[in-house]
Amino acid sequence: MFTLESVLYAFIDESYTADRYYVAAIIVDEKHLAEVREALAAARGYAAGFGVTTEGIEYHAHSIMTGCDGWEPVKGKPRAAIAIYGDVLRRLSGLPVKLIVRGVDVARLNARYRYPEAPYAVALRHLLEQIDLYARRAKDVAVIIADEIQGQASHIAQTMTYQVKGTGGYKPSKLQQIEMPIHYGKSHESPGLQSVDLAVYLYRRLDAHVETNRRTAAKVAELWESLAPIRYHVWRWDP
């Protein structure tokens, strides 16, 4: 079934608003997994300079920006939080990894279809198609590890049907370069999941949030631009 030269790991997480839903993946060749772990470990050393007790702390974008879940030393200190965020993104951007983001406009999805799929299911399917395409070009097989989500058992079952019936849509795929079933894991145990959380949160902030402060908008754009070296495919579907 697979054309295999090596194994890729695709770490998946989601971020959303009422009107937009995004699911993203950071793809890492198995031989580079340690580099992702080492990058986050080095970033913790940087964060410690701001008074953050970094042992066991999770790199979670919302927690960093709101100063909770161990990030309290930077609560109310946006410059410190952004400096920490920017530092870890720059470390990730220098790694041999690739970032894929797929989104869907939820309002348009609900308006177009009488019985629309869940936005997560739609964005995940589109993301898996892109991961499969990337793996096929690289002549690799992709193992999927996604952050835990409510109803994940049904998503596991649904994605497994794609290799039998195809994904449907404009360019259907049977995801032949993806190892099924997909796996759901805990983000605090996975540097890969923490890395993609940082990326997808940032893109959601860029694409779905109207910034009222010009400096904040410019900083968000600057942080997103720092990921340019690893961006492989970024797209939002507007049904």
Average pLDDT over residues 46-64: 92
To which residue do tokens 């340690």 refer? 34
Q: Are 162 and 174 in contact (CB under 8 A)?
A: yes
Question: In angstroms, rounded to a whole number, what is the distance separating the alpha carbons of residues 37 and 25?
Answer: 16
Tens digits of per-residue pLDDT, 173-212?
Answer: 999 999 999 999 999 999 999 999 999 999 999 999 877 7
Q: Is the pLDDT of residue 1 over 50?
A: no
pLDDT value of residue 4: 53
Beta carbons of 81 and 65 less than 8 angstroms apart:
yes
pTM value? 0.95
The reported pLDDT for the residue numbered 5 is: 62
pLDDT mean across residues, the chain: 94
CA angle (42 as vertex; 220, 34 as ends), nearest 5: 105
